[in-house]
């Protein structure tokens, strides 16, 4: 064995065949399971006690390693595709997308350049073109799938800054500024910190909507220092949609890059129930939407789309002697459009699922969540001890229980998970604690949500 140890992990052998069969059998069982529990986290001490050391000189063997994962590590993780996972923004990948994620890994695909991955880049671009069309963007729009909304927002804002620099030439301000809502996602502030630029948060009314009046004031105040205005189409906390059409209309008076952070909510444009709420998106210079949220893809995937892809390419193309073959080519290389070089073709599971089921199925699945949110919102209003914090806009429902403080919400949440009834973590708004349903899973039912409300009596 020692003579062949260097190649043991790569050759096809009886050991390899057994290992692959073990993993595929587990994956098949997990993908087709209909009773996967929510599960729950445990302590580091307990995991060490149960699993023991797993990284050793000789290895523990594929069977034992998989058993440790299946029976110790996996149950210590909350199941994000469970119909009663209703916290944060859940994930509910289709069976086709999950299955094809295995294919992506098994096929040794590189999705960074056309030279190395023409076929997969073409497939990803077909999805991006379709999404751009749904959002009303021009036919020559394009972009790339990146890891998540944080990287998508950062990449778009870097392109916006690069474009502003080119416009102003030597007349650069002392500090660049990003204008956004005070309720914008934390990733905008994170991107600004990485870029070492300032954020000008615009206050909103009680409805949380960023309106053109506030944006106008910020543009007047900061002038050419503004590299972008970020509007949100579906905030994480409430699903609130900014006045995108009103903000976009300001482009007739001011020269600014309009970026739409639609990580969660922009997918709702696919549904006829909500499409009208997104007027103005067609004027954006860049948009993001996360397929691993409401487009039913596995973690981790964010679609970043530029109105003019050449601006993204100019900002992000990496140059080095060993990359000359790629950078001197005019072919479409995804690594040119975001802060990344090496990348897996993370858009392929979405492509396969869309190709398999068709867009209409997606529209119906998204519409289901919107309708369910409206229904459970009405149910909340019928209960004397509960109160909606805001009317549901998309598929997030936020409500309060009379007389409860933060500790009451936390104890209630802990009981729900301990009983494997649901995963609903407490949230808050303006310092007041509340409860929140984030609904994206088509298997979540009205009865599921009513059962959870009943536990608040």
User: Does 22 reside within a domain?
Assistant: no
Q: Can you state the percent helix, strand and coil of the chain, rounding each to 5?
A: 50, 15, 40
Q: Which two tokens stand for residue 410?
A: 């936390």
Q: Which residues constitute the domain of residue 255?
A: 110-356
Name the band, by pLDDT with cuts 50, 70 and 90, for residue 330: confident
Higher pLDDT, 152 or 340: 152
Would you say 173 and 224 are in contact if contact means Cβ atoms under 8 Å apart?
yes
- Per-residue pLDDT averaged across 223-247, rounded? 97
Token pair 């080519």 is found at: 329
Cα distance between residue 251 and residue 179, in whole Å:
14
User: Does 249 reside within a domain?
Assistant: yes
Strand-pairing partners, residue 232, are 261
User: Does 181 reside within a domain?
Assistant: yes
Terminal-to-terminal C-alpha distance of the chain:
65
- Structural domain total, the chain: 1
Please report the pLDDT score of residue 319 as a whole number: 79
User: Does 402 reside within a domain?
Assistant: no
Please report the pLDDT score of residue 171 as a whole number: 87
Would you say 312 and 158 are in contact if contact means Cβ atoms under 8 Å apart?
no
User: Does 41 reside within a domain?
Assistant: no
Q: Do strands 142-146 and 177-181 pair parallel, antiparallel, or not at all (unpaired)?
A: unpaired
The CA-atom distances, in angstroms, between 167 and each of 74, 162, 224, 226, 284 are 51, 9, 10, 12, 18
- Assess whether pLDDT exceeds 80 at residue 3: no
Phi-psi region of 280 (alpha: psi -120 to 50; beta: other; left: phi over 0): left
Q: Other C-beta atoms within 10 Å of 90: how many?
A: 22
- Assess whether pLDDT exceeds 90 at residue 328: no
- Per-residue pLDDT averaged across 211-218, rounded? 98
181 contact partners, CB below 8 Å, separation of at least 6: 201, 202, 204, 208, 210, 230, 231, 232, 235, 242
User: Does 139 reside within a domain?
Assistant: yes
For 144, the enclosing helix (H) or strand (E) is strand 142-146
Q: Which two tokens stand for residue 181?
A: 């809502």
CATH of residue 212's domain is 3.40.640.10
User: Does 280 reside within a domain?
Assistant: yes
User: Does 293 reside within a domain?
Assistant: yes
Please report the pLDDT score of residue 172 as a whole number: 86
Cα distance between residue 146 and residue 305, in whole Å:
11
232 contact partners, CB below 8 Å, separation of at least 6: 180, 181, 183, 184, 185, 210, 240, 241, 242, 260, 261, 262, 265
Q: Quick: pLDDT tens for 369-416.
A: 999 999 999 999 999 999 999 999 999 999 999 999 999 999 999 999
Q: Quick: pLDDT tens for 267-326.
A: 999 999 999 999 999 999 999 999 999 999 999 999 999 999 999 999 999 877 667 666
Cα distance between residue 181 and residue 173, in whole Å:
22
Percentage of the chain surpassing pLDDT 70? 98
Cα distance between residue 87 and residue 40, in whole Å:
14
* Phi (first) and psi of residue 403, to 5 degrees: 85, -5
Cα distance between residue 244 and residue 134, in whole Å:
16
pTM of the complete model: 0.96
């Amino acid at each position: 064995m020692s003579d062949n140890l260097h190649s043991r992990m790569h050759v096809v052998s009886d050991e390899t065949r057994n290992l692959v069969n073990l993993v595929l059998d587990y994956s098949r069982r997990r993908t087709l399971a209909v009773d996967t529990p929510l599960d729950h986290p445990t302590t580091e001490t307990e995991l060490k006690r149960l699993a023991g050391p797993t990284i050793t000189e000789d290895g523990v063997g594929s069977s034992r390693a998989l058993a440790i994962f299946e029976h110790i590590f996996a149950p210590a993780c909350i199941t994000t595709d469970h119909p009663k996972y209703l916290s944060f923004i859940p994930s509910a990948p289709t069976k086709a997308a999950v299955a094809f994620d295995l294919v992506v890994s098994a096929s040794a695909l590189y999705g960074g350049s056309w030279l190395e991955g023409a076929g997969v880049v073409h497939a990803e671009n077909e999805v991006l073109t379709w999404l751009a069309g749904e959002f009303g963007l021009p036919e020559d729009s394009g972009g790339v799938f990146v890891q998540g909304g944080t990287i998508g927002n950062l990449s778009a804002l870097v392109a916006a800054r690069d474009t502003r620099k080119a416009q102003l030439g030597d007349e650069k301000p002392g500090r660049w500024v990003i204008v956004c809502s005070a309720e914008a996602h934390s990733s905008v502030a994170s991107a600004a910190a990485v870029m070492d630029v300032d954020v000008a948060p615009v206050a909103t009314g009680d409805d949380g909507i960023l309106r053109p009046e506030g944006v106008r004031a910020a543009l007047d105040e900061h002038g050419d220092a503004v590299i972008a205005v970020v509007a949100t189409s579906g905030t994480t906390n409430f699903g609130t949609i900014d006045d995108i059409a009103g903000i976009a209309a300001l482009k007739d008076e001011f020269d600014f890059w309009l970026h739409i952070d639609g990580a969660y909510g922009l997918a709702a444009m696919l549904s006829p129930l909500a499409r009208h709420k997104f007027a103005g998106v067609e004027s954006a210079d860049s948009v993001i939407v996360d397929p691993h949220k409401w487009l039913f893809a596995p973690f981790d995937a964010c679609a970043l789309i530029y109105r003019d892809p050449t601006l993204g390419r100019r900002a992000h193309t990496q140059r080095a002697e060993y990359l000359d073959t790629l950078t001197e080519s005019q072919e479409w290389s995804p690594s040119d459009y975001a802060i990344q070089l090496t990348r897996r073709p993370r858009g392929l599971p979405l492509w396969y699922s869309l190709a398999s089921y068709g867009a209409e199925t997606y529209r119906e699945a998204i519409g289901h969540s919107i309708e369910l949110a409206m229904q459970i919102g009405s149910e909340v209003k019928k209960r004397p001890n509960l109160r909606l914090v805001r009317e549901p806009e998309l598929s997030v429902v936020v409500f309060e229980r009379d007389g409860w403080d933060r500790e009451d919400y936390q104890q209630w949440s802990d009981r729900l998970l301990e009983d494997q009834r649901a995963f609903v973590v407490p949230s808050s708004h303006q310092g007041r604690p509340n409860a929140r349903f984030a609904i994206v899973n088509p298997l979540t039912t009205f009865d599921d949500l009513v059962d959870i409300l009943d536990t608040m009596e």
